[in-house]
Amino acid sequence: MSEITVAASEDAVKELFVAMRDGFRFDKRDRVDFGPFSAGYDVALRLEDGEVDLRSDNSIAIEELDVKWDTLKAWLGFDIREICFGGWCILPTPFGCAVRVPRVCVFSRDPDIKPELDLSGIATSEVSVTASPETRYFVDPSRPPGMTPIQAEMAGMSNRWQVFLDPGDVDLDPIDIADTVGDLLERAVSESIDALLPGPDWFRDAILAILGPIIDLIRRLLSIPDEIGDWLSDLLNARLGLFNLIFGAILDYFAEQSAIVDFEDPFPILPAAGGLIPVKVPITDFAVRVSDVEMVVEADVGS
């Protein structure tokens, strides 16, 4: 029997889980270039709902944890070779050209066409994780041998007992985007092209007539409107690596980054006071186990 025992009921663990879940925040923006084609995203997410279940096999299941996208914006960029119109001389003179048609260049920027999609309302994700508590004893590798506990504390090299959740089964649904995004994307492409072209309507119509094949090519590249939802999901999840990024962030948060228990060993029981060193007690045989009704932490006091 251990000398020190602390047990938390399943209800208490659920309350602590809610506090941890509500504290999760993730945001990132990035871009990837694929030659003349580029894509990027700007995401911010939090977690909602989800159920915690303690299991008799020494594991904790977190089920149906919803990923809520406060921001999920994706953009596609197309860099097209610059095309210039005009500049021709319409009134030549012996001394040179008196009047020229104005010269207009398009596709001078990079990317030239950059339709932006706000997918915040039409994308969903869900994660389920089963994890087991794993106890680790951290020893600072740079701590010199023979250093006393107080010397280690002053040098910020104290040993630590830590408990992490070691993920077992992890199920994160890829970002699922409804096919209704097709219309959204087509409109965004058209608006992006319209904004690109200068001059009055008759002039833009003239240029569009010339550029028609290029715009059709872009639409064909995007497979609009067929299966645009799947295409965007694949782009975000696989090609931009957003799936792995979010997957890793959630796992890090619950399993790696946030030790559910983390304390110094020896454990301080009386603080330094009046010029005296703190009083610390060594903790041994620290362990965490889970049953279907509670999580139990046990430890002994070292001699």
Partner 1 sequence: MALTDNCDLYGSIGEKGLNLVGRHVMRQRPSLFNYGTAGVAANRSLWCRAIDATRDVTEFADPLMSIAPPLPVPGTSEYCVQIVAVEIDFHPGNTIAIPPELGPPLPAQHFAGGARVCAGIGCPSEMLVDRLAAAGRGPKERERPGMTIPAAELDCFCLELFVLGHVETDGARLSAALDRLEIVEITPEGLEHGLECYLETLIRLAILPQLRVAVPTLALDLLDLATVTISPVSPSAAVPNNPAIEDDELRGFLDVAVAP
> What does the binding site for partner 1 look like in residue numbers (CB under 8 A)?
1-9, 11-12, 15-16, 18-20, 22-23, 148-151, 258, 266, 269-270, 275-277, 279-282, 291, 293-294, 296, 300-303
Q: Which of 51, 242, 266 has the alpha carbon at shortest distance from 151?
A: 266
Cα–chain center distance at 272: 42
Helix (H, G, I), strand (E, B) or coil at 21: helix
Smallest separation, CB 289 to partner 1 (Å): 11
Smallest separation, CB 69 to partner 1 (Å): 21
Smallest separation, CB 249 to partner 1 (Å): 16
Residue 99 half-sphere exposure, CB side, CA atoms within 13 Å? 2
Smallest separation, CB 107 to partner 1 (Å): 50
Is the Cβ of residue 121 or residue 275 nearer to partner 1 in the bound state?
A: 275
Is the Cβ of residue 10 or residue 66 nearer to partner 1 in the bound state?
A: 10
Tokens read off for 52: 């915690």
Smallest separation, CB 290 to partner 1 (Å): 12
Is the Cβ of residue 113 or residue 131 nearer to partner 1 in the bound state?
A: 131
Taking each helix axis as running N to C, give the angle between helix 201-222 and helix 181-196, from 0 to 180 degrees, rounded to the nearest 10. 140
Is the Cβ of residue 15 or residue 49 nearer to partner 1 in the bound state?
A: 15
Is the Cβ of residue 198 or residue 302 nearer to partner 1 in the bound state?
A: 302
Is the Cβ of residue 140 or residue 186 nearer to partner 1 in the bound state?
A: 140
Q: What amino acid is encoded at 23 in this protein? A: G
Task: Indicate if the alpha-carbon torsion angle 200, 206, 212, 218 is positive or negative.
Answer: negative
10 Å Cβ neighbour count for 294? 15
What values do phi and psi take at 166, rounded to 5?
Answer: -85, 110
Smallest separation, CB 7 to partner 1 (Å): 4
Task: Measure the CA–CA gap between 58 and 259, rounded to whole angstroms.
Answer: 17
